[in-house]
């Protein structure tokens, strides 16, 4: 049976690539209901007083585009927010920091010489903007969340492995490969910078979600916790970082964000 939502209860979609990043959010859902569509699980319910749909984009741009399209076409979401992890590329972006995306570029897209490198064919665009108002709210939520965590650590209420963590705002690059070597990340950063794209972080889904959201006119914003520096240590204790840091950031950031809507 097709899903229908009352216009007054049009939900916000919360996307993540990995199941570990959403476990805490699913547990907090009020009146949870799971629907399966396009081979994916979609969790509907209320979260912090807002109707939401929780879903996994899965990994990579094509999978993320499929999930995004399903959220819009099947569930009629009003806005989409992505929370997950990324590799740090920009100077001063450290493990434990948070990056809120202002815009997105596909670092592995090259249709030259027909189109300039990194430009999406037939769009006349290289970078896809996040929604300005939504991004501002997400940035405010992320700043508040990190401040809360740092104050808890100072009071001895909860340990914080990255007490000097900061929130950044800027360009995120997406591509269908896991960037995990110092040489590769350096070459990627240099190539993008030479083309005028100063990138803060790299991941595998955001630019695809942004492109689909542009097609449908749906506001989109994304926040990423930096799990590594996209170098030779990128694989070190990744599951532990998600469980102990990124998933906890996600819960607090999403809560603050939803309360700001």
Query: Which active-site residues does the annotation give?
Result: 21, 228
* Residue that the structure tokens 């896809």 belong to: 128
Cis (ω within 30 of 0) for the bond into 202? no
* Residue that the structure tokens 């396009």 belong to: 38
Indicate the SS3 state at residue 53: strand
Which candidate, 75, 122, 102, 114, places its Cα nearest to that of 210? 102
Q: Which two tokens stand for residue 116?
A: 């300039």
Q: Which two tokens stand for residue 135?
A: 């991004």
Contact 43, 34 (CB under 8 A): yes
Beta pairing class for 30-37 and 40-47: antiparallel
Contact 213, 205 (CB under 8 A): no
In angstroms, the CA 248 to CA 85 distance is 12
Which candidate, 104, 50, 101, places its Cα nearest to that of 78? 50
* Residue that the structure tokens 């650590």 belong to: 153
In angstroms, the CA 102 to CA 141 distance is 15
């Amino acid at each position: 049976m097709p899903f229908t939502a009352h216009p007054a209860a049009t939900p916000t979609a919360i996307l993540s690539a990995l199941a570990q990043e959403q476990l805490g959010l699913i547990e907090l859902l009020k009146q949870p209901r799971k629907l399966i569509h396009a081979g994916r699980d979609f969790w509907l319910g209320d979260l912090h007083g807002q109707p939401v749909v929780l879903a996994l984009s899965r990994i990579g741009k094509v999978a993320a585009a499929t999930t995004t399209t399903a959220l819009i076409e099947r569930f009629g979401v009003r806005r989409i927010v992505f929370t997950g992890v990324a590799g740090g590329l920009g100077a001063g972006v450290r493990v434990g920091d948070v990056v809120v995306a202002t815009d997105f570029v596909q670092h592995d897209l090259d249709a030259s010489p027909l189109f300039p490198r990194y430009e999406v064919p037939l769009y006349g665009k290289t970078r896809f903007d996040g929604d300005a108002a939504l991004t501002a709210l997400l940035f405010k939520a992320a700043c508040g969340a990190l401040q809360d965590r740092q104050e808890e650590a100072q009071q001895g209420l909860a340990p914080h492995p990255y007490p000097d963590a900061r929130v950044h705002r800027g360009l995120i690059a997406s591509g269908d490969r896991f960037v995990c070597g110092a040489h590769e990340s350096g070459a990627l950063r240099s190539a993008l910078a030479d083309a005028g794209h100063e990138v803060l972080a790299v991941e595998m889904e955001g630019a695809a979600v942004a492109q689909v959201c542009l097609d449908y006119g749906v506001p989109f914003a994304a926040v990423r916790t930096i799990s590594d520096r996209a170098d030779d240590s990128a694989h070190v204790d990744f599951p532990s970082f998600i469980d102990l840091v990124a998933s906890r950031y996600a819960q607090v950031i999403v809560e603050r964000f939803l309360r700001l809507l």
